[in-house]
Amino acid sequence: MQTSVDIGRIGLWQGVLDQQPSSRVREIAAEIEAMGWGALWIPESTGRDALVSSSVLLGATTTLKVATGIAQIHARDPIAMANGQRTLAEAYGERFLLGLGVSHAPLIEGVRKQAYVKPYSLMKAYLAAMAGAMFTAVGPPSPPPTVLAALGPKMLELSRDAAQGAHPYFVPPEHTVLARSVLGPQPLLAVEQMVILDTDPATARALARQDMVRYLRLPNYVNNLRRLGYGEDDLGAGAGTPDGNPDPSDRLVDAIVAWGDEDAVKARVQAHLDAGADHVCVQHLVADRTRPPLEQWRRLAEVLL
């Protein structure tokens, strides 16, 4: 299914543009559009504001869709979030997709110094408040869509019942099967997939582990992997704790990160689509986050789009 924002079946997820000045970000956005990518996903953590960045990217392009993966609900009250979404939807003609998430306790409590309690209940109340937010400016012609960062059954159910779909992150295709079974046939299921264009198992897995460790310190991701049957031998010591030193098994690395040549990446994307995803956004991992992987993005565009 597609929402009123048509992001297509394949998109690009990136977390490296915050390391570039805004003038260069505009240039890269135009390059991404010229490569043929139809949708670009951006995160929000301790870098640039996700809604402001979306405006910069949309203003630098003409057809590219921009999606937040995800905008943190603790960063804005529901009225500010809803009206920021409406502003972008009206300004850029159905090219903006709002992805929302509760983020993670270490980031919310440790960085934002806010309480991280009852994330499901908080998101449910937040969405209700967004729906009722007063807006006295010129708005978009139709209500803009929202997807939720969802891993467990309850948040997936909320994605189905109170939003227009889900954006699972750091998941293998078997999670996509479960997500679709909870969502049902209609809501948008937009899945993130990490990839590395490297056919050497040692170097590819080393880069994958380097990136995965930070996620394996977060309970939300670790609990989801445990639900899927990955045990302590796969996760490593201290998984799910901020100070842990997880060491993922080859089995888990290969489940989360598609590495190899273009055909290997294409096969993993197809596995998610076959499992029920409407959209897969690929994220090419990098060792140096100050250097956007433009050449890899081009290679992926040639085979995936």
Range with the lowest mean pLDDT among 108-112, 114-118, 261-265, 291-295? 108-112
Range with the lowest mean pLDDT among 30-34, 238-242, 270-274? 238-242
Q: What is the residue extent of each domain of the chain? A: 10-196+261-304, 200-260
pLDDT of residue 231: 95
pLDDT tops 70 at residue 1? no
pLDDT in tens, 150-165: 999 999 999 999 999 9
Cα separation values, 57 from 50, 81, 134, Å: 10, 18, 27
**CB of 184 closer than 8 Å to CB of 287:** no
pLDDT tops 90 at residue 13? yes
Burial class (CB in 10 A: 0-12, 13-18, 19+), 58: buried
Range with the lowest mean pLDDT among 115-119, 141-145, 151-155? 115-119
For domain 10-196+261-304, give the fold: TIM Barrel (3.20.20)
The average confidence (pLDDT) of the chain is 96
pLDDT of residue 103: 85
